[in-house]
Amino acid sequence: MFKGAIVAIVTPFKNGEVDEQALRELIEFQIESGTDGIVPCGTTGESATLSHAEHDRVIEITIDAVKKRVPVIAGTGSNSTAEAMRLTRHAHEAGADGALVVAPYYNRPSQEGLYQHYKTLAESVPMPIVPYNIPSRTGVNILPETVARLAKIDNIVGVKEASGSLKQMNEVIQLCDSTFSVLSGDDFFTLPLLTLGGKGVISVISNVAPADMAGLVDAFEAGDLKKARELHDRMVSLIDALFLETNPVPVKAALAMMGKMSADVRLPLCRMSEGNLERLRQAMRHYRLIA
226 is catalytic: no
pLDDT above 90 as % of the chain: 100
Which of 3, 115, 160, 199 is catalytic? The answer is 160
Torsion on CA atoms 137, 132, 6, 234, rounded to nearest 10: 50
Work out the burial of residue 152: count CB atoms within 10 Å of its CB; fewer than 13 is exposed, 13-18 middle, 19 or more buried: exposed
For the cut 90, the answer to whether the pLDDT of residue 130 exceeds it is yes
Which stretches of the chain are assigned E, i.e. beta strand? 4-8, 13-14, 17-18, 37-39, 73-75, 98-102, 129-133, 158-161, 181-184, 200-203
Give me the pLDDT at residue 228, please: 98
Q: Running DSSP on this structure, what letter comes out for residue 134?
A: -
pTM of the entire predicted model: 0.96
Angle value at C-alpha 185, between 16 and 122, nearest 5 degrees: 85
Q: Pick from 126, 78, 71: which is nearest to 96 by CA? A: 71
Give me the pLDDT at residue 35, please: 98
105 is catalytic: no
258 backbone dihedrals φ, ψ, rounded to 5°: -80, -5
Mean pLDDT, residues 125-137: 97
Q: Running DSSP on this structure, what letter comes out for residue 271?
A: P
Task: Name, in order, each residue with C-beta under 8 angstroms of 224's C-beta and a sequence gap of 6 or more.
Answer: none
Q: Pairing state of beta strands 200-203 and 73-75?
A: unpaired
For the cut 90, the answer to whether the pLDDT of residue 222 exceeds it is yes
Give me the pLDDT at residue 24, please: 98
Helix, strand, or coil (residue 5): strand
- pLDDT band at residue 1 using 50, 70 and 90 as cut-offs: confident
Mean pLDDT, residues 108-114: 98
Q: Tell me: the pLDDT tens digits for 36-48?
A: 999 999 999 999 9
Mean pLDDT, residues 95-119: 98
Q: Running DSSP on this structure, what letter comes out for residue 2?
A: -
Q: Tell me: the pLDDT tens digits for 46-75?
A: 999 999 999 999 999 999 999 999 999 999
Q: Tell me: the pLDDT tens digits for 263-273?
A: 999 999 999 99
Mean pLDDT, residues 102-115: 97
Q: Pick from 38, 26, 47, 65: which is nearest to 256 by CA? A: 26
Which of 3, 115, 118, 132 is catalytic? The answer is 132
Task: Name, in order, each residue with C-beta under 8 angstroms of 228's C-beta and a sequence gap of 6 or more.
Answer: 191, 194, 216, 217, 219, 220
Mean pLDDT, residues 106-132: 98
For the cut 90, the answer to whether the pLDDT of residue 107 exceeds it is yes
Task: Name, in order, each residue with C-beta under 8 angstroms of 200's C-beta and a sequence gap of 6 or more.
Answer: 2, 3, 4, 5, 6, 36, 181, 183, 184, 190, 194, 217
Which stretches of 67-196 are assigned E, i.e. beta strand? 73-75, 98-102, 129-133, 158-161, 181-184
Q: Does domain 4-223 have CATH number 3.20.20.70?
A: yes
pLDDT above 70 as % of the chain: 100
Q: Tell me: the pLDDT tens digits for 142-196?
A: 999 999 999 999 999 999 999 999 999 999 999 999 999 999 999 999 999 999 9
Q: Running DSSP on this structure, what letter comes out for residue 78?
A: -
Q: Pick from 157, 173, 159, 247: which is nearest to 206 by CA? A: 247
